[in-house]
C-alpha cells in the first residue's frame, strides 16, 4: 500500500473497531471544543488510511482551529492542490509569505479554476512586494483591487500604508483618515499601524495627528513618537499586509452563522504575523463566542499588559471570565488594573463594568465616578465623558442614590445637551420618581425626535404619556415600541398596563404573557400576579 508523503505509516493497520473508536473520540473532542485533541486524533486516522483525503482535511481544519500550525502544515503540504479548501490555501499562502517565498504564494492565490477564487488578493501581495523594493509601481498595483470586491473596504488603509512606505505621506494622509473613519473595532490598531508608517517615513507630525484620540495605549504611542521611538507596529511585508486583511475579513464574516471560517482566518493571521496583538484579541473574542472559553482566555492572556492593546485584552478577558461565572478572577483582574499607578479612566470603567455585572450597584457607581473624574471635558475625550456620566448615573439610580444620579446625568447633559440617551434617562427617571412631569415629558419627546427608531426611547415616551393620563396616545406609542423590540420585557409590561387601564383586558394579559418570557425574577413575580389578578397598585410597573 502506497503511503502519502508526510504521513507516518503505522507499523500495523489498526483493527476496524480501533479506528471507529478513534473516530468517535475525535468527533467527541470536536463537539466539546477540544480542537487540538480532535486534530491529533484525525491525523492518526489519516495516517492509517492515506487514501481518504477527507480525514486528512478534517485533521487540517482542526489543527488550524487549534493554532497547531506545524501539524496543519505537515498535513496540508502533501494534499493535491485541487483538493485544498479555502482555509488550507490561505494557510499555505501565509506560511510561504512569512518565509519570503513570494512565487509559490502567488501561484496558490492565482491558480485558475479554484473555488472560491482568491485572485483578488494577488494585487495586494504584488503591491507590497514592490513597496518593499521602493518601486512606485506599487501604487498602480494596489489600485487594481476592485473597490466593490472582498477587499474594497481595506483599500484606503492599504493605499495609505503603501504610500507611506514610499515616503509619500502627504498623499497618504487623506487615505489614512478615511481608513480610520471606517475601521470600526479595529480603529486603535489602524491608528497605530498608520502612525508607525508615517513615523518611519520621516513625518512625525502627521503620525502624531493620527494618534489624536483617547485611550492609554494611544497616549503612550504619542509619547514614543514624540521621543522619536518606534512603535513596533509597522507593516512592511506582504505577510504583514495579508495578516491584516485576514483579520479584517474574520471580523466581517463573523456576522454570519458559521464561526469556523472566521476562527480559521484569525488563526492564519497569527501565523502570518505572530506579533500582531490584535489577532490574539479578535481570535479570543471569536473563540469565546463559539464556546471555547479556555482557549479564548489563553488568547487574551497572550497579550502583554504593556501592549498598546493591553487594555482591550483585559476588557475582553474580564467579560469572558464573567461569562463562565469566574467572578472572583474577573474582579481581581479589574481591581489590579485599577490599582496600578498608571491606571486611567478605562481601568476604572472596566472595574465599574465588573461590579455592574455582579449587581454591586453602589461599587459600580463609585468606580464609574472615579473614571469620569479622569476624563477630559473637551476635545477627543469628551464623548467618553458623557458616556461615563451615563454609566455612573445608571449605577447610582440602581443603587438608590437618585440625587447623585440626577447630578451625574445633568453633568453629562452639560457636555452633550442634544444627546438622546441622556435626555431619555433623565426624563424617564424623573417620571419614575414623580418629579418635573412637564420637563420630563419634554426631554423624552426631544430624545424620541432625535432617535425615532429607538424602541427603548419610544417606550419611555409611551410610558410618559401613560403616566400623564394620555392612555390612548400611550397605547399607540407603546405598540410602536413593542414592534421595534418585541423581546424587551419592560415594553411589553408597559403596554399591558396601558391596555388594562383602557379596559382592553384580554389584550393586556396577552402583552403581559409575552413580557414574562424575557423578564427578570422581580418583574416575573409582578407580571404573574397581574396575569392572575389584574392590574392594581401593588402590581403596576414602576
- The pLDDT value recorded for residue 46 is 66
The 10s digit of each residue's pLDDT in 426-436 is 999 998 898 88
DSSP string, 150-213: TTGGGHHHHHHHHHHHTT-HHHHHHHHHHHHHT-GGGHHHHHHHHHHHHHHTT-HHHHHHHT-S
pLDDT band at residue 38 using 50, 70 and 90 as cut-offs: confident
pLDDT over 90 at 512, yes or no: yes
pLDDT band at residue 338 using 50, 70 and 90 as cut-offs: very high
- The pLDDT value recorded for residue 257 is 63
**Alpha-carbon gap, residue 194 to 268, rounded angstroms:** 22
What average pLDDT does range 469-498 have in this prediction? 95
Local structure of residue 444 (DSSP, 8 states): H
pLDDT over 50 at 7, yes or no: no
- The pLDDT value recorded for residue 159 is 96
C-alpha cell at 336: 489590579
Residue 326: partners with Cβ closer than 8 Å, 6 or more residues away: none
- The pLDDT value recorded for residue 60 is 86
Local structure of residue 81 (DSSP, 8 states): G
Residue 220: partners with Cβ closer than 8 Å, 6 or more residues away: 308
Quote the Cα angle for 328-329-332, to 5°: 85
- The pLDDT value recorded for residue 382 is 65
Distances from the Cα of 279 to the Cα of 99, 276, 321, angstroms: 19, 6, 20
pLDDT over 70 at 380, yes or no: no
The 10s digit of each residue's pLDDT in 204-255 is 999 999 999 888 899 899 999 999 999 999 899 999 999 999 999 999 888 7
C-alpha cell at 317: 478577558
The 10s digit of each residue's pLDDT in 278-324 is 999 999 999 999 889 999 999 999 999 989 999 999 999 999 999 99
Task: Answer yes or no: are the C-beta atoms of 188 and 310 closer than 8 Å.
Answer: no
| Most confident range, picked from 110-124, 125-139, 366-380 | 125-139
**Alpha-carbon gap, residue 325 to 382, rounded angstroms:** 34
* Contacts of 477-485 spanning 24+ positions with Cβ under 8 A: 481/455, 481/456, 482/455, 482/511, 484/453, 484/454, 484/455, 484/458, 485/455, 485/456, 485/459
Average pLDDT of every residue of the chain? 89
Q: How many CB atoms lie under 10 A from the CB of residue 255?
A: 7
Q: Give the dihedral of Cα atoms 92, 96, 102, 106; nearest 10 deg.
A: 0
Q: Is the dihedral of CA 356, 358, 361, 366 positive or negative?
A: negative
Amino acid at each position: 500500500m502506497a503511503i502519502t508523503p508526510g504521513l507516518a505509516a503505522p507499523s500495523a493497520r489498526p483493527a476496524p473497531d480501533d479506528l471507529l473508536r478513534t473516530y468517535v473520540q475525535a468527533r467527541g473532542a470536536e463537539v466539546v471544543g477540544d480542537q487540538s485533541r480532535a486534530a491529533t486524533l484525525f491525523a492518526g486516522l489519516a495516517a492509517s488510511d492515506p487514501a481518504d483525503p477527507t480525514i486528512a482535511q478534517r485533521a487540517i481544519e482542526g489543527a488550524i482551529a487549534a493554532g497547531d500550525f506545524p501539524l496543519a502544515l505537515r498535513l496540508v503540504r502533501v494534499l493535491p492542490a485541487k483538493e485544498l479548501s479555502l482555509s488550507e490555501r490561505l494557510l499555505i499562502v501565509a506560511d510561504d509569505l512569512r518565509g519570503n517565498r513570494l512565487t509559490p504564494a502567488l501561484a496558490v492565490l492565482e491558480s485558475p479554476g479554484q473555488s472560491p477564487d482568491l485572485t483578488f488578493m494577488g494585487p495586494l501581495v504584488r503591491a507590497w512586494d514592490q513597496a518593499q523594493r521602493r518601486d512606485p509601481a506599487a501604487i498602480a498595483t494596489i489600485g487594481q483591487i476592485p473597490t466593490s470586491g472582498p477587499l474594497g473596504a481595506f483599500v484606503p488603509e492599504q493605499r495609505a500604508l503603501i504610500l507611506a512606505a514610499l515616503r509619500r505621506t502627504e498623499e497618504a494622509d487623506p487615505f489614512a483618515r478615511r481608513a480610520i473613519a471606517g475601521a470600526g473595532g479595529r480603529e486603535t490598531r489602524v491608528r497605530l499601524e498608520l502612525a508607525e508608517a508615517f513615523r518611519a517615513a520621516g513625518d512625525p507630525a502627521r503620525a502624531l495627528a493620527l494618534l489624536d484620540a483617547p485611550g492609554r495605549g494611544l497616549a503612550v504611542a504619542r509619547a514614543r513618537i514624540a521621543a522619536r521611538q518606534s512603535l513596533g507596529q509597522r507593516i512592511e511585508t506582504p505577510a504583514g499586509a495579508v495578516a491584516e486583511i485576514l483579520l479584517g475579513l474574520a471580523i466581517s464574516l463573523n456576522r454570519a452563522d458559521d464561526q469556523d471560517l472566521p476562527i480559521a482566518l484569525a488563526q492564519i493571521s497569527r501565523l502570518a504575523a505572530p506579533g500582531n496583538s490584535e489577532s490574539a484579541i479578535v481570535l479570543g473574542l471569536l473563540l469565546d463566542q463559539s464556546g471555547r472559553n479556555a482557549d479564548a482566555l489563553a488568547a487574551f492572556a497572550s497579550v502583554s499588559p504593556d501592549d498598546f492593546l493591553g487594555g482591550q485584552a483585559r476588557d475582553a478577558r474580564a467579560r469572558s471570565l464573567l461569562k463562565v461565572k469566574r467572578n472572583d478572577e474577573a474582579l481581581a483582574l479589574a481591581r489590579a488594573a485599577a490599582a496600578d499607578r498608571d491606571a486611567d479612566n478605562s481601568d476604572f470603567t472596566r472595574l465599574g463594568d465588573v461590579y455592574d455585572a455582579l449587581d454591586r450597584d453602589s461599587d459600580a457607581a463609585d468606580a464609574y465616578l472615579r473614571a469620569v473624574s479622569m476624563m477630559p471635558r473637551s476635545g477627543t475625550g469628551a464623548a467618553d465623558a458623557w458616556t461615563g456620566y451615563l454609566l455612573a448615573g445608571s449605577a447610582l439610580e440602581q443603587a438608590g442614590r437618585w440625587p447623585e444620579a440626577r447630578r451625574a446625568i445633568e453633568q453629562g447633559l452639560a457636555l452633550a445637551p442634544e444627546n438622546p440617551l441622556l435626555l431619555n434617562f433623565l426624563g424617564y427617571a424623573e417620571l419614575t420618581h414623580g418629579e418635573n412631569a412637564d420637563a420630563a415629558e419634554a426631554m423624552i419627546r426631544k430624545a424620541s425626535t432625535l432617535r425615532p427608531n429607538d424602541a427603548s426611547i419610544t417606550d419611555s415616551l409611551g410610558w410618559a404619556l401613560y403616566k400623564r393620563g394620555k392612555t390612548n396616545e400611550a397605547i399607540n406609542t407603546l405598540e410602536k415600541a413593542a414592534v421595534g423590540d418585541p423581546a424587551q420585557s419592560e415594553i411589553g409590561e408597559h403596554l399591558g398596563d396601558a391596555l388594562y387601564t383602557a379596559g382592553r383586558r384580554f389584550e393586556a394579559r396577552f402583552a403581559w404573557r409575552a413580557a414574562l418570557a424575557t423578564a427578570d425574577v422581580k418583574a416575573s413575580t409582578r407580571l404573574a400576579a397581574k396575569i392572575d389578578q389584574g392590574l392594581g397598585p401593588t402590581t403596576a410597573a414602576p
